[in-house]
Amino acid sequence: MDFTIILQAGIASGTVLLFATIGELFSERAGVLNLGVEGMMLVGAMSAFSTTIATGNPWLGVMTAMLFAGIISQIHAYIVITLQADQVVSGLSLTFLGTGISLVLGEGLSKAGTVSLLPNFSIPLLAQIPILGKIFFTDQSILVYVGYLLVPLAWFYINRTRPGLHLRAVGEYPSAADALGINVFRMRYFYVFVGGMLAGLAGATISLAVSPGWFSELTTGGQGWIAIGLVIFAQWDPIRAAVGAYAFGALRRLILDIQGPLLLLGFDNPFYYNPYLGFFLQMLPYLFTVVVLVIGSREAMRKRIGAPAALGNPYIRGERGK
Partner 1 sequence: MGAQDGAMTDSNKLPSGQTRIDSIEMRGITKRFPGVLASDHVDFDVKSGEVHALLGENGAGKSTLMKILYGMYHPDEGQIFLNGKPVSIASPTDAINHGIGMIHQHFMLVPTLTVAENVALGLPSSRGPLTDLDRVSKRIVELAGIYGLKIDPDAYVWQLSVGQQQRVEIIKALYRGAALLILDEPTAVLTPQEVDEFFVIMHQMVKDGYALIFISHKLHEVVEISNRVTVLRNGKKIGTRPTSETTKQDLANWMVGREVDFAPDRGNIQRGEVRLKLEQVSCGSDRGTPGLREVSLEIHSGEILGIAGVSGNGQRELAETIAGLRKTTGGHIYLEEKDVTNFAPGDLTERMLSYIPEERMRDGMIKDFTVAENMILREHHKMPFSASGFLKLKNISTHSEKLIAQFHVKTPSQETLAKNLSGGNIQKIVLAREISRNPRAIIAAQPTRGLDIGATEYVREQLLDQRKRGAAVMLISEDLDEILALSDRVAVIYEGKIMDILSRQNATRERLGLLMAGVQSGEKTPA
Q: Is 230 left (phi over 0), alpha (psi -120 to 50) or beta?
A: alpha
Distance CA 121, CA 206 (A): 17
At 120, give phi and psi (nearest 5°): -105, 145
Residue from 12, 307, 55, 301 nearest 144 by CA: 12
**Cβ count near 267 (within 10 Å):** 7
Per-residue x/- marks for partner 1, 285-314, CB under 8 A? ---------------------x--x-----
Tell me which of 122, 175, 211, 235 binds partner 1, using CB under 8 A: 175
Residue type, 187: M
Contact assessment for residue 16 and residue 249, using Cβ atoms and an 8 Å cutoff = yes
> Does 182 participate in binding partner 1 (rule CB under 8 A)?
yes
Binds partner 1 (CB under 8 A): choice among 84, 128, 161, 274: 161
Q: Which stretch binds partner 1 (CB under 8 A): 66-74, 86-94, 130-138, 178-186?
A: 178-186
Interacting stretch for partner 1, rule CB under 8 A, among 27-35, 74-82, 168-176, 245-253? 168-176
Q: Which of residues 52-111 bind partner 1 (CB under 8 A)?
A: none
- Say if strands 120-121 and 140-141 run parallel, antiparallel, or are unpaired: antiparallel
A 10 A CB-CB count for 56 gives 11
Instruction: Give the Cβ contact number of residue 299 at 10 Å.
Output: 8
Smaller CB separation from partner 1, 227 or 232? 232
Judged by beta carbon, residue 111 or residue 320, the one nearer partner 1 is 320
Of the two residues 42 and 231, which places its CB atom closer to partner 1 in the complex? 231
Q: Quote the CA–CA distance of 244 and 71 in Å, as a whole number.
A: 27
- Asked if 173 interacts with partner 1 (CB under 8 A), we say yes
Which amino acid is present at 184? V
Q: Shortest approach of partner 1 to residue 172 CB, angstroms?
A: 5
CB of 156 to partner 1, least distance (A): 9
Cβ 32 to partner 1 shortest distance, Å: 17
Nearer to partner 1 among residue 112 and residue 182 (C-beta): 182
Q: Catalog residues that contact partner 1 under the rule CB under 8 A.
A: 160-166, 168-169, 172-173, 175-182, 306, 309, 317-318, 320-321
